[in-house]
Every structure is written in C-alpha cells, then in structure tokens.
Structure 1
Amino acid sequence: MLAILFAVLTLAPAAFGCGVPAYPPLVSRVVGGENARPYSWPWQASLQYNSYGQWRHTCGGTLIATNWVLTAAHCISSSLTYRVFLGKYNLAAEEEGSIAVSPEKIIVNENWDPEDLANGYDIALIKLSEHVTLSDQIQLACLPPAQSILSSNTACYVTGWGRLQTNGPLPDDLQQGLLLVVDYATCSEPSWWGSIVKTTMVCAGGDGIISSCNGDSGGPLNCQGADGRWEVHGVVSFGSSLGCNYYHKPSVFTRVSAYNSWIEQVMANN
C-alpha cells in the first residue's frame, strides 16, 4: 500500500511541476534558428559575468531546482564574478518577472579538464544564493531518466542567446533551433567527430545549416518526453573550430542522463 501511495504522491503534479511551460514553445520544422516564443523555455538561464561594472551574457544554463542551475564546466572561470538571470526573453530589455540571482557556490565536475575538452565531464552546477519563486516565466526543466539514450533523429531544440552564425551578431531575443539527434555510432565515425566524441555525450545536428554557436554553451538541449514534458538531455559543450554549422560536425552536448547521480549527489551535499 505504501508503495502504491508513494507512486501516486510522486506523480501528482506540483503547482509548478517540471518541463511544462505556461507558454508552450512554437515548435516547427523550420530549418535555421528562429526567435523563440517569449517565455516558452522558462528554465533557460543567462549566465552573465561582470566586466567593468557591466553584466555580459557568456553562457546559457538550465534551472533544474528552485536554487540550482545546470551549465557547462567550460563556462566557469574562477577569476570572474557571475550572476544568473532567469525569466528572460530579451536580454536588452527590462522585463517584469525576470530576476538576477548571485551564485552561492559553483561546483564544477571534479573530472573536468579544461586542457582536454574531448575527455568529457563538461558539466557544472550553480547553487543560487536564494530559492527563486516559480512563475509563468520561471519554471524547472525535467531531468531525463538516468542512462536514457535518445534514438537517432529524435527532434530536440537547442535554445540560447548565442551568435546567429559563425562570427555573427549576438541576438537580444532568445533563439531556438531544431536539431536532430545523431546516434553515437554515426557521430563517432572518422568523417564525423571520430574518437573525440564519447558515449557520455549527445550529438545533434550536423546538417550544415543549424547548430549551437558561441554563447549557447551551457544551455539546454530540450527534448520532449513521451509524457509531453520537456527534459534537458544535453548541455551545450562544443562544436567545430571550422564554424558553427559545419557539415557532419554536429553540436556536441554533455549527456545529462550520464550524470544524474552526480547531479543528485552535489545537490544533496551542498
């Protein structure tokens, strides 16, 4: 009876569960990035650093608990002062309901090696100095089931304020781009990423048209679960030095489902 009751309790949605935006994203098969519907990715964070008194966007992030944001290890520098902006759509505008929170602590995966991006472990957690109040604009993304692997051609969306193309301008409005998952067997072929890509990563894109780009790092690869909730399956990690949308060089993400236990452990111990 307890087990049944527990199952019922865990399935009962909170006032704000995870992965269900108040403003559902307008997801289309549009090729090329596009402006997202405002506040339709309400877990998207902008990680910003202070430069001579000005806050500048540097990376994306994903709100996974009311005081925890998931991002990439390579986004973090011990010499910078950061803040996390939530509830944002246009970075250049004052938006009611958005909030800037300073980190209490930042935990980079202990196996991350900045000299060896291909080693993996490009994942970090930011503990916020306060719990944020969830709203229509600020919500949590769901984590995927541990060790779950996306099948080839799963349609996911990368979101962020990264450059619109190689060396291109930075947008003010949040962008979304449809990326199809490339399975590990294909992505690790010599003419693709070869041995650089690991099983703890997710490849998506590689059509030469659309990809993540500089400034998207740390942000989510959003994939819809069978129950309709959005899960953060990837953290933007790296792309090709040849350019952002290079053919057969898909965007590479840290595979979140390989790190569920690490995420849970860090959140429990801090």
Structure 2
Amino acid sequence: MEVVLVLLAVVAAGEFTLNILIQQPNTGRVVNGEEARPYSWPWQVSLESFFPTCGGTLIAPNWVLTAAHCITFHTYRVVLAEHNMNKEEGPEQFINVGKMFIHPKWNDNCVSCGNDIALLKLEKNAVLNDKVQPACLPQHGATLAHNQPCYVTGWGRLHSGGPRATTLQQVLLPAVDHATCSQSDWWGSSAKTTMVCAGGASKSACHGDSGGPLNCEGGDGRWYVQGVTSFVDGRGCNTTRRPTVFTRVASFIPWIVNCKCELYPFI
C-alpha cells in the first residue's frame, strides 16, 4: 500500500528554573485543540522567512531546534514570546538566524527515512524572562510510555485545508508507542524508532506546525520537548490511525551536542 506523507511546513540556563512553568498551560488548534494561555510555552518560537513558515523550540539562549524540511530559504528570523500573529503585543523578541545546521542524513525526497531535524544558531542571545525560556531536552535514548499525555503547539491550520491559527494553539496528544504505530494498519514501516507518534484520532498537528515541539511533562514536574513536528497523512491531518509523526529528540541528543560545537555547518 502506498502511504502518502505530508510535511507540516507552510510552503506558501539563567536565573529561571527551566520548565516549571510560571504560566501553566490550559489543560481543559492545531486540529481540534484550543488557544494556549499566552506565554505558557515560553520556548515556542515562530520561524519566519518572507512569512511565518514553521515553529521551533528555544533550547539555549542562542539556539533553536526545528525540522530539517522547514529550511528551504537562506534567510530566517525567529520570533520569541509570540502569541497573536496579527499584532505586536509588546514582549516579542525578533532575532535573525546566523547559521543553519541540517542533519547530514536528512533526505528531502524521503521524509519517512527520518532525520527531519535542524538547529539554528541565532545572531544574538535571546533575553530570558518569564515569557522566554529554553526547553529541557530528554536524556539520550529516553522513551515515552504508550498513552503518555503530551501537547503539540503551533500556529498551523485549524483543519486540513483550513485557515491558519492567529493565536498559539495547543492540543493534547497521547503518545503512541512504536509497537503500535508501526503496525501495518497504522504507519507501518514509515514509523521508525527515531520517530515519536502521538494522537491518531480527531486531534493532530497540521500544516504550519512543522518544527514545533511535542511537550511532555516529566516525573520531576518539568516539561521536556520529546519531539519535533514532522509529518501527517496525506489524506488529512487527523486521519484515524495515522497519528502525527515527530522526530524523536532523544535519538538525536549526541548530534545536537556536536552540532552546537559547529561540526556540521549548513551555511
């Protein structure tokens, strides 16, 4: 059976305690989600070139994690402390991207091969405050339990073919373990161990959410970015048994560490 994948890009430590959030997220789109409480995901960034294209995650004052398939232009900036894209609300920080690092095994002709991950080095450090904080990353090799609750966040389409969200959206997506996600009536061989699946029913990420975080609360009360939003089924963002697929951050910790030492410059 041919599986059609759709990338989710839009083509057209400091004085703060990391990830014990000052503004707690609503737990009461993304598809079938809800508006996030402003600044409750302080590591969420908007990646922009000529227009907003993707999401991303601040992982250090001058480093942003995103999806490799998001990098299609040569000039980008990130917006931190963004909530409503239609107006400037005051706390936003606009910082140009200085260097881009794409995983060396990424193949833009084979999204299901994995390695959909990239790092952006900013031209200057972000100012950390109660609205802008770096995310915690999981330990190398860490896994998510089946049905572990996680949130995907972004400004992507509210439904397949629908309008993009104006304000940051969030949706609760339970993790789907690899044994389930790789079943033939789910994602089959398209689901790799270097990926994380989440959702698979009426809620999902959608076009424009690419590169953004899959946020999962750890047992220590901190939030960890366990995934980078990568692709959905070509038949629709919230197709049954086709959960949103994320690059599994825990599989790439050594590369992230090495990349921050600038071993793999893209430009």
Instruction: Report what 2:186 is aligned to.
Output: 192
CA contact (8 A) 2:14 2:128 kept: no
Q: Secondary structure at the match of 1:269?
A: coil
Instruction: Report what 1:215 is aligned to.
Output: 208
Q: Secondary structure at the match of 2:258?
A: helix
Counterpart Cα distance in 1 of 2:18 and 2:135? 5
CA RMSD of aligned residues (A): 1.2
**TM-score, normalization: structure 1?**
0.90
Instruction: Report what 1:263 is aligned to.
Output: 256
Instruction: Report what 2:79 is aligned to.
Output: 85
**Is residue 70 of structure 1 aligned with residue 71 of structure 2?**
no
Instruction: Report what 2:27 is aligned to.
Output: 27
Counterpart Cα distance in 2 of 1:68 and 1:80? 17
* Structure with more contact order per residue of length (Cα contacts < 8 Å, sep ≥ 6): 2
**Is residue 238 of structure 1 aligned with residue 231 of structure 2?**
yes
CA contact (8 A) 2:216 2:226 kept: yes
Question: How many residues of Structure 1 are paired with residues of Structure 2 in the alignment?
Answer: 249
Gaps of 5+ in 1: 1-12, 51-55
Counterpart Cα distance in 1 of 2:67 and 2:42? 19
Gaps of 5+ in 2: 1-12
Residue 254 of structure 1, aligned match among 231, 237, 247: 247
Question: Matches of residues 155-234 of structure 1 in structure 2 within 5 Å?
Answer: 155-207=149-201, 209-234=202-227
1:14 positional shift: 4.5
1:93 positional shift: 1.1
1:110 positional shift: 0.4
* Structure 1 residue ranges, 4+ long, deviating more than 4 angstroms after superposition: none
| % identity of equivalent residues | 51
More helix as a share of residues: 1
Question: Matches of residues 91-170 of structure 1 in structure 2 within 5 Å?
Answer: 91-170=85-164
Deviations 1:189-226 (A, max 9, x none): 0100000110000000001x100000000000000011
Counterpart Cα distance in 1 of 2:90 and 2:115? 36
